Amino acid sequence: MSILRLSILTAFFAAASLLRAEPSPAEQKVVDAIKSQDLSVVHLWAPWCSNCQAELKSSGWPKMVKDNPQVHFYFVSVWNGGEDGAGMLRKFEIGGQPNVTILADPGPRGQNHIKEFAGLPLSWIPTTWVYKGGDLRYALNYGEVRFSVLQQFLEDSQSQWSHKGEPAIE
């Protein structure tokens, strides 16, 4: 009976340590980077994901990276056993650009995969987030991105606007 109690206690502490686990090096790099005043795009993907592959085949990502040299793009492979997918990205002409960083989260694929990244829930890939100055400006959490929409989000994130001086709604 004491062995069973010890096993249960060990499992409990292991689960508790996972809940308080330190961020992976990839996640920490992204968390540090998105604090920048510059515009950042974090794209969570996996090479095996058919939706992620469809985005790559459209040639939208290479054009997006090329057309927005002032934006830093972080391609983070998740749920892929720690592999970064750089080979697939290079096949579609992504990588090597000064505004692109390719990373991999070491989390496993399958039932026990990570469910949060950089403090946000992660339940679907591809997922694309736009940050500026540490603030999340836009989150595309469920599926393929339309690149014209992403371009508009980037432009909107750069604009300066305020509600000051606008008449109140009565």
Rounded Cα distance between 109 and 85, Å, is 14
Strand 100-104 relative to strand 116-117: parallel, antiparallel, unpaired? unpaired
The DSSP element (H or E) to which 13 belongs, if any, is helix 2-19
The arithmetic mean of pLDDT across residues 79-86, rounded, is 93
Burial class (CB in 10 A: 0-12, 13-18, 19+), 98: exposed
pTM comes to: 0.81
Determine what percent of the chain is predicted with pLDDT higher than 70: 84
In terms of Cβ atoms closer than 10 Å to its own Cβ (0-12, 13-18, 19+), residue 44 is: buried
Beta-bridge mates of residue 128 = 43, 140
Mind listing the pLDDT tens digit for each residue in 125-160?
A: 999 999 999 999 999 988 889 999 999 999 999 887
pLDDT tens digit sequence for 109-124:
667 788 999 999 998 9
pLDDT exceeds 60 at position 16: no
User: Is the per-residue pLDDT at 19 higher than 70?
Assistant: no
26-71 pLDDT, tens digit per residue, is 999 999 999 999 999 999 999 999 999 999 998 999 999 999 999 9
